[in-house]
Amino acid sequence: MVNKVYNNRAWLLVLPMLALVAFSAIIPLMTVVNYSVQDVFDANTRFFTGIEWFERTLNDAGLQAALLRQFAFSFTVLAIQVPLGIGIALLMPKRGWQASAVLILITLPLLIPWNVVGSIWQIFTRGDIGLMGVGLRELGYGYNITRNPVDAWATIVLMDVWHWTPLIALLCYSGLRSIPEAYYQAARIDRASKWAVFRYIQLPKLTNVLVIGVLLRFMHSFMIYAEPFVLTGGGPGSSTTFLSQSLATMAIGQQDLGPSAAFSLIYFLIILLVCWVFYTAIMNMQKDKAERGGV
Amino acid sequence: MAWMVWTLPTAVFFSTIAAILAGMTAWEVISPTVERKGFLPIATTRGDRLFIGLLSAAYIHLIVVGFTDITIWFALALSVVWLLILMRWG
Amino acid sequence: MNQRIDTHVEQAGAPQGQSSGQFQRAEASKRGRSRLRPRTLLAIYLVFIMLPIYWLLNMSFQTNSEILGSFSLWPQNFTTANYMGIFTDSSWYMGYVNSIGYVLMNMLISISVALPAAYAFSRFRFIGDKHLFFWLLTNLMAPPAVFLLPYFQLYYSVGLFDTHIAVALAHCLFNIPLAIWILEGFMSSVPKEVDETAYIDGYSFPRFFVKIFIPMIRSGIGVTLFFLFMFSWVELLLARTLTATNAQPIGMIMTRTSTASGIDWGTLAAAGVLTILPGIVVVYFVRNHIAKGFALGRT
């Protein structure tokens, strides 16, 4: 780690970035806060409502259910994607044309616009024209994502695994490639087991990329919108309606500015808390390790 | 600015936040913070404690507003007390 | 690498007193077999990745009547009519031009303000640096749905609504923090002595930054640009809200395929295939930077 110099002129280097991000972040955030305490029809016709929207949002059974579903979904996909992604990264070829080819193929799902991902899976899973839909029916399973909530859930999880495992795999692959060959040679001389190599050489190197990967994945899975919207439309019933979709329905569909703003703030606070706890925990773990003279 | 639909309470809220940030910066310039370990499980600087305080204040407000009938002023008072405790002993 | 370590797992269970000759023979015989297993698993995963994309490709070469009429694993009557329809209709292909336009603008803006900022974070301590960094991360967390309405009003009131630059600026919200996060890791791995030597040699900061420092983190910039492209290209919610006709992204135009009389599957599939192509080009250019390996994040 570079020893940093204390110098407040560094703020000058940060300022252009700050101006741009603040323009895109702070002004809209202030507006959302303003919306959340009023009943807004337009800029001139509005009524102060105080905490009413917050009260209503917090006690809305539909939103509470959506929140639980959201957590269930985020943890399910993380629990699948992180181990799978690490596994794939370990399996990927190290060099030559094969490495490039696998890298490009694996990255493909990441570079597809999110609504197109939804469309791809809609086409893929339809019972009449989709490979997976028709295939499962041929095998005798009555697969139907518009009727059966379990099928819909499983399909969305599968779609998310398809879509996002590559990100974890890609980050881990790069992390693994940055480990000097000498480490492995030392391990071979010590006749370290494969598990020991993974646990004491590879995993420590992966910690940083995994922090980024897990945080990004948590944030994105927590605001998943376009893919389930295109694939299932939140159905059957509301079994695959996640938070972002409830919010978009409220804000765009019903034009309820006040309630959707209150909802947005609560939504944001939840993500903020989870990410802060995770981030702080990891940073402290690393600091402890550094103090004990570890990696 | 009309489209931002300002109201007095939110204006006061943001001014307070801005004032706290400005105050913290000035304090930092006059006497730089030292990381220390209080009753929180992690070592914190003044800025960390302020952030923890503000975040927990937001949650205190949400709990009071959403799940009890107590007035919001109670939540505000509780948050301020909690923030002070945190800043001093956290 | 795996196969070599693999044999050690099996060796670990063997008695300790084994001679090295036996060890090498066992290793040689197992090498062939244990190489096969990782390859098979990887192949299964690649098939899983490619199947939905293959199905999209398959459909894009079929007519609608064939798609709906019969189920076939490959196009029976190969047709490029769906693609021709897109390439000859300016309202269709302009969607691609618009999307690529705002993505490129966003990459340019993001990288040029993120580079100095990441340098500041990697080299200096300053008042509020940790909090500023975490605040940047919180911008990655804000669900775009939260900001839809204020964004619409903000860009409308400054007269940027339905322009490419509006979408590019809006995407800065999450792309600048991401770029700083990634670049900071790369910059921290460049020894500080490099900076100091340059200053002693009489380089001014801007000249040092452009002539020496940026070439040194070339692959970091490549990787960053890849992620910037990725997250700007795939985002639709903000892009859709901030545009009407002149700067409409392709993702929005694709919704046109679903009409009252049903969905135009062929065109939808062809348009979908075309949205994948720019990504392939980008990843082709950065593949070596990624394969070279990078350790992201603050260490």
Q: Over range C159-169, report the average pLDDT.
A: 90
Amino acid at residue number C158: V
Answer yes or no: is pLDDT of C52 > 50.
yes
pLDDT for A79: 93
pLDDT band at C30 (very low <50, low <70, confident <90, very high): low
At C80-120, the pLDDT tens digits run 888 988 888 888 888 899 999 999 999 999 999 999 999 99
pLDDT the model gives residue C165: 92
The reply to whether A231 falls in a domain is yes
What are the residue ranges of CATH 1.10.3720.10 in chain C?
A: 89-292
Q: Domain spans of chain B?
A: 40-90
pLDDT of residue C32: 55
Structure tokens at A269: 């606070």
pLDDT tier at C35, thresholds 50, 70, 90:
low
Report d(CA B7, CA A35) in Å as an integer: 9
Residue A71 has a CB neighbour count (10 Å cut-off) of: 15
Measured between CA atoms, how close is C14 to chain A, in angstroms?
12
- Put simply, whether A147 touches C (Cβ < 8 Å) is no
Q: Is B27 on the interface with C (CB under 8 A)?
A: no
**In terms of CATH architecture, what is C89-292?**
Orthogonal Bundle (1.10)
Taking CB atoms and an 8 Å cutoff, what residues of chain C touch B28?
Answer: 127-128
Residue A67 is part of a domain; what is its CATH number? 1.10.3720.10
- HSE toward the beta carbon, residue C118, CA cutoff 13 A: 31
Residue B56 has a pLDDT of 92
* Ramachandran bin of C243, using left for φ above 0, alpha for ψ from -120 to 50, beta for the remaining angles: beta
Walk along chain A (295 residues) and give the pLDDT tens digit of each residue. 446 788 888 888 889 998 988 888 888 888 888 888 888 777 677 778 778 888 888 888 888 888 899 999 999 999 999 999 999 998 888 877 888 888 888 888 998 888 888 888 888 888 778 888 888 888 878 777 778 888 888 889 999 999 999 999 988 888 888 788 888 888 888 888 888 888 888 888 788 788 888 888 888 888 888 888 888 877 787 788 888 888 888 877 777 788 888 888 888 898 889 888 888 888 777 777 766 654 4
Instruction: Give the percent of chain C with pLDDT over 70.
Output: 86
Distance (Å) of CA A196 to CA A35, A120, A184, A253: 55, 41, 11, 54
Decide if A54 and B5 are in contact by the 8 Å CB cutoff. Answer: no
According to DSSP, the residues that pair with C125 across neighbouring strands are: A6
Mean pLDDT of C178-198: 86
How far B12 CA lies from chain A's nearest CA (Å)? 11
Q: Domain for residue A268, yes or no?
A: no
Q: What is the pLDDT of residues C246-290, one digit of tens each?
A: 888 888 888 877 777 778 888 888 988 999 898 888 888 888 887
Which residue blocks in C71-128 are alpha helix, DSSP H? Answer: 81-88, 90-123
**Shortest Cα distance from B52 to chain C (angstroms)?**
12
- Nearest-angstrom CA–CA distance, B4 and C273: 41
- Which structural domain range is residue A85 located in? 62-255
Q: Name residues 172-231 of chain C within 8 A of A (Cβ).
A: 172-173, 176-177, 180-182, 185, 188, 191-192, 223, 229-230
Look at residue C237 and tell me whether its pLDDT is greater than 80: yes
ipTM over 0.85: yes
Out of B3, B29, B51, the one facing C131 most closely (by C-beta) is B51
Instruction: Count how many domains chain A has.
Output: 1
pLDDT, position C107: 94
Whether residue A136 lies inside any domain: the answer is: yes
Please check whether residue A47 lies inside any domain of the structure.
Answer: no
Query: CA dihedral in degrees (C231, C233, C236, C239; nearest 10)?
Result: 100
* A135 found inside a domain: yes
Nearest to A274 by CA among C39, C38, C203, C138: C138
pLDDT given at position A271: 85
Q: Write out the DSSP string of C57-70.
A: HHHHTS-HHHHHH-
